[in-house]
């Protein structure tokens, strides 16, 4: 099963959770209020994501004379993409991300640390990964997933606030089980979050494969991932948790059960996928 199919199925599962919660609440007004609020919030985030995140990290735009601009330009032409804007982030921790609502309004940013650490072949692998995110319109996909997850969480909070499974006067619906309803309102948002993280991890695998194709092979990206994984422990990135999913490697490491809530697969699993004869 391809990662694209997995993403579609996961989005469908999250939509099903939303409908299930709506049925459990008996058409509570909070469900639609939460959904509409989530749509507006995430639409604004999607539309202005590039400006918001670039300002958050004090990114500085660079021009054609810069090494980063030249590498991005070569890769964008190879990938058949419009030339994105290119930015440097004044951070010693090595990392990079892409943003923008579509390929015509894209931006690629890299930290000073990653430029000093990686050679050109490794940078091509990293930047190819970021351009693959742009080509696959992953900002849109993550925005849809975030909208559904936020709507589910808001609806649950509304329901708990107004009364579990009750009408606006606080009376329980006939035949409802308060314990089951409470469990539903608590566990459904957790399930939505797990699905959202799974979507993000799936898109990372696709961006790795797409980036390797753009760069002409996986060697540079594999070498870069190994270096970045080691460096992330030594020089952590001062990152906002809300933007952690955007970076090529998560700014902090996770393991065990907490990896279920990670926006990135483990670096080793990404390398194994890249080196596999049948890459996802």
Residue 117 lies in a domain: yes
Given 112, 121, 122, 130, the catalytic residue = 130
> What pLDDT shows up at residue 157?
66
- Tally of domains within the chain: 1
Q: Minimal CA–CA distance to 12: which of 188, 168, 144, 167? A: 144
**Mean pLDDT within 194-208:** 85
Residue 280 lies in a domain: no
**Mean pLDDT within 207-229:** 96
Assess whether 204 carries a catalytic annotation.
no
Lowest mean pLDDT among 83-92, 140-149, 195-204, 255-264: 255-264
Q: Minimal CA–CA distance to 265: which of 247, 250, 243, 275? A: 250
Question: Is 90 exceeded by the pLDDT of residue 90?
Answer: yes
**Segment 3-54, tens digit of pLDDT:** 556 556 666 666 666 656 665 555 555 556 656 666 676 676 667 777 888 9
Residue 256 lies in a domain: yes
Residue 54 lies in a domain: yes
Range of the domain at 78: 3-275
Range with top average pLDDT, 126-140, 225-239, 266-280:
126-140
pTM (2 d.p.): 0.74
């Amino acid at each position: 099963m391809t990662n694209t199919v997995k993403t579609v199925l996961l989005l469908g599962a999250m939509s099903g959770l939303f409908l299930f919660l709506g049925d459990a609440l008996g058409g509570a007004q909070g469900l639609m209020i939460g959904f509409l609020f989530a749509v507006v919030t995430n639409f604004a985030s999607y539309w202005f994501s590039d400006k918001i995140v670039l300002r958050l990290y004090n990114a500085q735009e660079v021009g054609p004379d810069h090494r980063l601009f030249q590498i991005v330009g070569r890769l964008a032409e190879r990938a058949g993409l419009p030339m994105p804007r290119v930015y440097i982030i004044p951070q010693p921790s090595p990392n990079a991300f892409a943003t923008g609502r579509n390929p015509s309004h894209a931006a690629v940013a890299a930290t000073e640390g990653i430029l000093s650490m990686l050679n050109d072949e490794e940078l091509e692998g990293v930047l190819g990964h970021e351009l693959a995110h742009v080509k696959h319109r992953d900002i849109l996909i993550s925005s849809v997933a975030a909208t559904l997850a936020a709507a589910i969480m808001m609806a649950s909070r509304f329901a708990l606030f107004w009364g579990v499974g009750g009408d606006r006067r606080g009376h329980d619906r006939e035949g409802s089980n308060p314990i089951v309803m409470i469990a539903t309102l608590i566990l459904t948002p957790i399930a939505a979050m797990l699905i959202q993280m799974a979507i993000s991890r799936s898109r990372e695998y696709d961006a790795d494969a797409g980036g390797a194709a753009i760069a002409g092979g996986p060697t540079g990206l594999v070498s870069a991932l190994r270096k970045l994984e080691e460096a992330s422990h030594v020089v952590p990135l001062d990152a906002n948790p809300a933007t952690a999913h955007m970076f090529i490697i998560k700014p902090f490491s996770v393991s065990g059960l907490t990896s279920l809530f990670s926006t990135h697969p483990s670096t080793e699993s990404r390398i194994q996928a890249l080196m596999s004869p049948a890459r996802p």
